[in-house]
A and B are shown apart, each in its own frame.
Chain A
């Protein structure tokens, strides 16, 4: 039976989790920038004018 484990250092797993963390931060910053760039124009296209949606 697999028992309880104390995490041990594993560079490959650390890199895997690090890649997910990095992707999350890049997406947070990237989508925020994209929203600033095209958000207003996209809302005008969808709603037919300026809106107070964030």
Chain B
């Protein structure tokens, strides 16, 4: 059995190098922005010609592995609400199974690749527009607070008005008290978990880019706790989702293992870069990357529909190129900031 697992990771050297490199880029984006890397993997795999169930299943297994690594770090920072995570696991797991069943149903109709690509176009496009508008307007409320290091008192975080209204309106028992003195109905948590779980199962993503804002704006959880708890929850839901996809032959270790190898290193570089570069400076590139990803998936899908290989290749290069460009901008900005800081320190010393 071990032989079959080892045999599964022995792809061609070019493919392994491609996946390690792509994993490095995705990990760097994930480590820097706290979200947004993983949902590039499934469209890229679809464009590389993998069947929808393998693209989604392997994407989910990759998210599972990445979440394990990130949760270990957030646990050390005290940013995980285990009670909230445990409540969310049930709703998310059922949601993922509904999403997964939808993928296999659409695949039996021969529509899975097309429908998933269309959902991605709208999702990446919509979120890309939101992030870009947010970055250009200089309003930083929509992003993830990387500076939240756990030292700040969680009850000092402002609860968004909409979350307060939900907490006052929906008071169906049982009610639970979460970290940061947030008191909310279990049913609100379950609804958020289920709906984001459906999306995770359907698209093969962790769902953090939707679940984190949902936890902040619908449940009222402080941002750092939302990040840590989301990752903890993905370990379980992603693990179960990967298991279900794996049973149907949807998890390809020759894809997941090299991706994870690259992303674990990229995530360390990305999270270290947050201490040096202001995320808001890079956010506009991030929004642009999501928009480029949306266009890339659309172009690839049109190419696939028309049987035009050139368009499919253009789509693939766009999605990978956009991710590489933003990752490069992060590394470049980090090194430039470090060198100028070093230069100032040296001049002062002299």
A residues sitting closer than 8 Å to B (CB atoms) are 1-5, 7-8, 10-17, 19-21, 23-25, 27-28, 31-32, 35, 43, 46-49, 51-54
Contact = CB atoms under 8 A, between A and B. Distances in A.
Given A35-B268, A47-B338, A17 B239 contact: yes
**Which are the 8 A-B pairs with shortest beta-carbon distances?**
A27-B264, A2-B104, A24-B68, A13-B246, A24-B65, A47-B338, A54-B272, A28-B69
B253 A19 contact: yes
A12 to B, nearest CB: 6
B5 A23 contact: no
Nearest to A44: B342
A52 B335 contact: no
B247 A28 contact: no
A23 B251 CA distance: 15
Contacts of A12: 1, 4
Given A20-B61, A28-B69, A2 B101 contact: yes
Interface residues of B, number: 47
Interface stretch (B139-147, B217-225, B255-263): B255-263
Interface string B311-350: 0000000000000000000000011001101100010000
Most buried by B among A3, A24, A54: A24
A21 B1 contact: no
Contact of A53 (B61, B265, B334): B334
B50 interface: no
A54 B334 CA distance: 12
Interface of B is mostly: helix
B341 A3 contact: no
A17 B237 CA distance: 13
A16 B275 contact: no
Contact of A2 (B1, B73, B105, B242): B105
A53 B61 CA distance: 31
Contacts of A17: 61, 64, 239, 242-243, 246, 251
A26 B244 CA distance: 24
A5 B244 contact: yes
Contact of B342 (A3, A11, A47): A47
B261 A27 contact: yes
B148 interface: no
Interface string B265-278: 10010011101100
Contacts of B346: 49
A4 B334 contact: no
B72 interface: yes
A48 B342 CA distance: 8
A53 B346 CA distance: 17
A13 B243 contact: yes
A13 B239 CA distance: 11
B233 interface: no
Contacts of B239: 17, 21
Contacts of B282: none
A31 B341 CA distance: 26
A20 B64 CA distance: 8
10 contacts: A1-B108, A17-B243, A17-B246, A17-B251, A21-B65, A21-B239, A24-B69, A27-B265, A47-B342, A54-B275
A27 B96 CA distance: 27
Interface string B59-96: 00100111011001100000000000000000000000
